[in-house]
Each structure stands twice: as structure tokens, then as C-alpha cells.
Amino acid sequence: MDKKVNYLVTNEEDELWGLIVTTVGRQEITANETYPPATHPKGYYFHVDKGRILNEYQLLYITNGQGVFTYGQNKQSELITEGKMFFLMPGVWHTYQPTENSGWNEYWIGFKGSVIENVVREGFFLNRSPVYNIGFNERIIDLYFKAIEIANEERAGYQQALAGIVMHILGLMYYRDKTRGFEDEELIGKINKAKVMMRESVYKNILSEDISASLNISYSGFRKAFKELTGISPNKYIMELKLSEVKLLLSTTSQSVKQISYLLNFENPEYFHVFFKKRTGLTPMEYRSSAEIKG
């Protein structure tokens, strides 16, 4: 029978990849069961009342039952219910356990390396609670099962495969957390419609204020919802669409740069040059030349 709990050995070659997985597993804790089970090695096992500090990152996903997660110097506690994931950081004291009369099902994966250090350094998971309310997500569960399967096999390259799974789980967690507040299906539909309108009007001088008005949403509400759902403002989204169209025209047509700037309703050719160079690092003609060489 495949192991449900794995603590992995890595080597210097694995570390060169930038992300290594140290442990992965799942366990079902029944009501009134001693927690944590004594199956975990030194460095991972902890007494609930004393807690622990890890030298790695871990993602724990609870799919049944509930408990309490306590962390940090101030020992802040949060209720953990099914559908929540908590992100453990290295060097941060923490403890957690299911309630006695509940138990819980937990999945975890531990990892470290320069890749995740860089992501965290950029601020994606800082200055917020380490608890993410992502709900039930079958894709994430499948990823944990796949990681356990790969860890059991330990074939050549398995660490690199596990590293990909970690980043996939992290991305889904981030995405689900960012979009979970959008319970209003009507609002989601309007934002999606706005994106279509922007795409269809890329050759027109359409304003995001006009779009919000046509959708009967105040501009401030529209801008806030659009940015929360897509990650960028409506105006920036429009400019990104224009940039993609400019690249297409430069690489597939013989129209002059001036013609293209007018076609896409840029204020003037000078602004068009500055915008394009700032976004791509190349002038429009340099981009056209590089596209011709690649072609």
C-alpha cells in the first residue's frame, strides 16, 4: 500500500532547480484522536501546547472537520473550517489542532528554495493572514494525491515534478482567494462582458467610464470590481489589448508605424513610440525587424 506520509531526501542537484519538496502527505484524524500522530519525525512532530518553528514553507488544506490555528509572536488564533488552507512560513512560531469532537482531514506539502523565497519577497503572501478561504477544490485535492504518488515512486526527476505541483497549488490558492469574494454572479457576468466590449472596441476610442455606464455600474464600483477580478485596472487592460494588437500588426502587415498608431487611436505617434518602447524595450521598428528575423 502506498504511504500517505512522505519525508523526502534531496541532493545538491535537486536544490539547483530552485524549489525542493521536503514532505507531502495526508491523514484523517478522527474525533478524540491524539494529535498529532506519533508518525512524524523529529523536526516535524510537535506538542500542541508548545508549538513549533519550521525552517521551510508548508501548505495545509483542511477538507473535513474543524480546528484552531495559532501563530506569530502575539499568538493570534483563527478558526479553521473545512475548505481553508493555511500557509506556514519558515521562522514563524505556530501550532494547530482539530477540535476533540470533530477531527479533520488534512493534506500538506512542505517545500523550500530560492523560487518560493523570491515570490514571497515580492509580497504576494505577506501582510495578510496566513489562512486562505479557498473552499472545496477538487483540482487541488488531485494535486496533493499526485504529489503523494510521485513521492512514493521516487523516480528520476521526481523532485522537479513535485516542484511544479507546489507552484500549481500555490497559484490556485492565490487565485481562489482573490476571486472568492465574487459571490455576485451578475457582477462577474458584467465584468466579463466589459472585457469582451474592450476587446471588440480595441480599434475604437472607447473609455472605461463609457463601459461602466453602459453596464449600469458606477465607475468607482466598476473599477474596483474589475481590478479585484482581473488584477489590473480597466484602463490598463485596454492598453494591454492595444499593445497585443500593435504587435500583431507590426509582425503581420506592412502598415507604417504612424498608420498603426492612428488605427489604434493613440493620442499621437510620439506617445505611441514612448508607450511601446516602455512596455517592450524595443521601438516599433526594432520589434518589426525582430519579428521578421524570427519568421
47 & 131 share domain: yes
What CA dihedral angle connects 224, 225, 231 and 235, to 10 degrees? -60
Q: Which of 199, 18, 206, 208 is nearest to 113 (CA)?
A: 18
**Segment 102-151, tens digit of pLDDT:** 899 999 999 999 999 999 999 999 989 999 988 877 889 989 999 999 99
| C-alpha cell belonging to residue 122 | 515580492
Q: What is the pLDDT of residues 163-220, one digit of tens each?
A: 999 999 999 999 888 776 665 677 877 888 898 888 888 888 889 999 999 999 999 9
What CATH number is given to the structural domain containing 43?
2.60.120.280
Q: How confident is the model at residue 43 (pLDDT cuts 50, 70, 90)?
A: confident
Residues 40 and 174 in one domain: yes
pLDDT tens digits, one per residue of 44-93: 999 999 999 999 999 999 998 999 999 999 999 999 998 899 999 999 99
Confidence of residue 1 (pLDDT cuts 50, 70, 90): very low
Q: Are 129 and 84 in contact (CB under 8 A)?
A: no
- For the cut 90, the answer to whether the pLDDT of residue 228 exceeds it is no
Residues 79 and 211 in one domain: no
Please indicate whether residue 275 or residue 3 has the higher confidence score (pLDDT): 275
Enter the DSSP assignment of 120: H
In this structure, the number of other CB atoms found within 10 A of the CB of residue 69 comes to: 21
Cell of 246: 500593435
Is residue 217 located within the same domain as residue 132? no
Domain limits at 66? Answer: 5-179
CATH of the domain at 271: 1.10.10.60
| Domain total in the chain | 2
